[in-house]
Amino acid sequence: MPKITYVAVDGTERSLDVPLGTSVMRGAVVNDIDGIVAQCGGNAQCATCHVYVDETTIDKLDPARQNEDDLLDFTASPRRPTSRLSCQLEVTSALDGLIVHLPERQN
Amino acid sequence: MKAGAQPSSVVIVGAGQGGYQTAASLRELGYPGRITLISAEDALPYERPPLSKAYLKGQADFEQLWLRPVTYYVRQSIDLVAGTVREIDPAARTVRLADGSEYDYGHLVLATGARPRTLDVPGAGLRGVHTLRTAQDALSLRASLAAARRTVVVGAGFIGLEFAAVARESGGEVTVVETLDRPLARAVSTRTAEHFTRLHRRMGTQMLFGRRVAALHGNSRSDVTAVELADGRRLPADLVLIGVGVTPRTELAEAAGLPVNGGITVDSRLLTGDPRISAIGDCAAFPQVRSGNLLRLESVQNAVGHARLVAERLTGVHSAYDELPWFWSDQFSTTLQIAGLAEEHDTQVVLGDDPDAFSVLLFHGRELRAVESVNRPRDHMAARRLLDRGVELSPDDATTPGFTLKAHLASRQGVSAAVR
């Protein structure tokens, strides 16, 4: 299973094996990681599963689609070039080693 | 409990999205007391929106619907109790469960939700006739759907249409029967309703409006075989979904002597007639801040918003509930997003030339009341901000060539900050 690393605001890291086909958001929720709210349950409606992808691993991802890009303009913590919605990041083998930083606030 | 002091314990009846969120927000805000979350379903709190979408299609396991894993509740000292509440005793401040156990509360939150309405016609109890509210309902529907060849959906609301889309995608014949003359009649404008009628017809679903169901018929094994309409027409069916709305679960509140008026009546702080009892989410009728009219909404956003407000109040922050309502629905590959409420509107402006991607702006007088976006998420997000912040937008502005909600929002941000 691809390994995804979640970095909390205080710098605490947790690396988890996240099943293929699920999402980076689900990986956090199911493993009880704080800092991802995902109020709409992964339907790309709320922008409360915002993450900053670590610059060293950003190349693992395809660019955001229009819908995700639109929502990223409305995150509670500031949007940065590395901002993504974790519910839209489907876990594939290409994501192995991905590092995401959790933002200060989600709503 | 002294005025202003935190209750020593909070009991929450109902572990849907609102009940869960109350507990979660209390802990987020540092509430140190005992929290008991009572669920009528013997399962961890889960998300309901996928029940009529991905989960119904078999694209998600139940665990993927969990709002949080069991370790969360342990870590946060939230006591999850499976059981049915039989009675509330406001004088003794206790709730009693069906198994006889009792829980004392400093504050009680009723998040009892709603139950699907059923049809009051002969044959409504036949096998193969379903409603959709819980994960268990979805599971049994999923099983029936796999074998169904002909599906009839009674009611063209959100649940009915979302289910109809999934049923159609799974390959069977699908007919939707609605008593009113259009789908989503209470929720959207005629323009948007027409779009969804066209969409479902284009996908091969038969849409029948202005028709009432008179009876359901079955075979000797009590399996449903047909839906009979009031005009005598019979629609063959081996699966029937009844999606004719919900009834809020108010019985416990009524029996406890709390006021009920189309929902458990609460004030703008979401308090019932008893200062130690709140009601939130689908079961609560709350006053709209501007009009004062009682409103009952069925949405994730409403449940979560209510839950947060109650958690804030119980930890010392007092405010009136004034969140902008928003909703969404996925049908086939179309996403409908609604911001605001347009019970009243006299002017509408449509943005976008694409018949499959547009937004309808609904005005009452010169005031923007709601925006319905079909496959235009950017409009929806901008509309949420515009409406939430009370940014002025007139029908004239909206019909100016080149107008976009996002650009309008950007140009008025400075103004809006001063308004709020």
Q: What is the pTM of this model?
A: 0.94
Closest approach of B306 to chain A, Cα-based (Å): 13
CA distances from residue B89 to B86, B93, B102, B260, B264 in whole angstroms, order as listed: 10, 6, 10, 17, 16
ipTM: 0.89
Strand B294-295 versus strand B284-287 pairing type: antiparallel
Q: How far apart are CA A15 and CA A100, in angstroms?
A: 10
Point out the residue among A32, A43, A47 whose CB comes nearest to the CB of B68: A32
Tokens 């100016």 belong to which residue?
Answer: B400
| One-character DSSP codes across A57-89 | GGGGSPPPPHHHHHHHTT-SSPP-TTEEEGGG-
Q: Chain A: give the shortest CA distance to residue B49, in Å.
A: 8
Over the stretch B313-371, which tens digit does the pLDDT of each residue have?
999 999 999 999 999 999 999 999 999 998 889 999 999 999 999 999 999 999 999 99
* pLDDT for residue B157: 97
- The string of pLDDT tens digits covering residues A9-37 is 999 999 999 999 899 999 999 999 999 99
Element (H, E) at B28: helix B17-28
Q: Nearest residue on chain B to A27, judged by CA atoms? A: B64
Q: A70 contacts in B (CB within 8 Å)?
A: 377-378, 381
How many contacts, defined by CB atoms under 8 Å, are there between A and B?
A: 48
pLDDT one-digit tens code per residue, B180-225: 999 999 899 999 999 999 999 999 999 999 999 999 999 999 999 9
Q: Which of A41-55, B98-112, B248-262 has the lowest mean pLDDT?
A: A41-55
Residues 6+ apart with CB under 8 A from B274: B90, B256, B258
CB atoms A31 and B75 under 8 Å: no
Could you say which of A22, A67, A73 has the minimum Cβ distance to residue B64?
A22
| Measured distance CA(A48)–CA(A29) in Å, rounded | 12
A14, A18, A24, A32: which to substitute to probe chain B, counting the most B Cβ within 10 Å? A32
Determine the pLDDT at residue B420: 33
Judge contact between A47 and A36, C-beta under 8 A: no
pLDDT of residue B58: 85
pLDDT tens over chain A, length 107 residues: 999 999 999 999 999 999 998 999 999 999 999 999 988 888 888 899 999 999 999 999 999 998 899 899 889 999 999 999 999 999 999 999 999 999 999 98
- Gap between the Cα atoms of B118 and B210, Å rounded: 19
Per-residue pLDDT at B419: 38
With CB atoms and an 8 Å threshold, state whether A70 touches B71.
no
**Sequence-ordered list of residues with C-beta below 8 angstroms from that of B11, at least 6 positions apart, any chain:** B36, B38, B95, B103, B104, B105, B107, B108, B109
CB contact under 8 A, B377 and A66: yes
Beta carbons of B378 and A70 less than 8 Å apart:
yes
The amino acid at residue B254 is E
Concatenating the DSSP letter of every residue in B60-78 gives S-GGGGBSS-HHHHHHTTE
* Best mutation target, A45, A66, A72, A79, to test chain B (most B CBs within 10 A): A45
B-contacting residues in A 5-44 (Cβ below 8 Å): 22, 26, 29-32, 39-41, 43-44
Q: Which residues of A touch B49 (CB under 8 A)?
A: 40-41, 43
- Whole-angstrom distance, CA of residue B362 vs CA of residue B368: 6
User: In this structure, what DSSP letter does residue B30 have?
Assistant: T
Q: Which of B413, B366, B364, B363 is nearest to B386 (CA)?
A: B413
Q: What is the mean pLDDT of residues B115-128?
A: 96
Could you give the CA distance from residue B420 to residue B416 in angstroms, rounded to a whole number? Answer: 6
To probe the interface with A, which of B48, B72, B75 has the most A CB atoms within 10 Å? Answer: B72
Whether B300 sits inside 8 A of A26 (CB atoms) is no
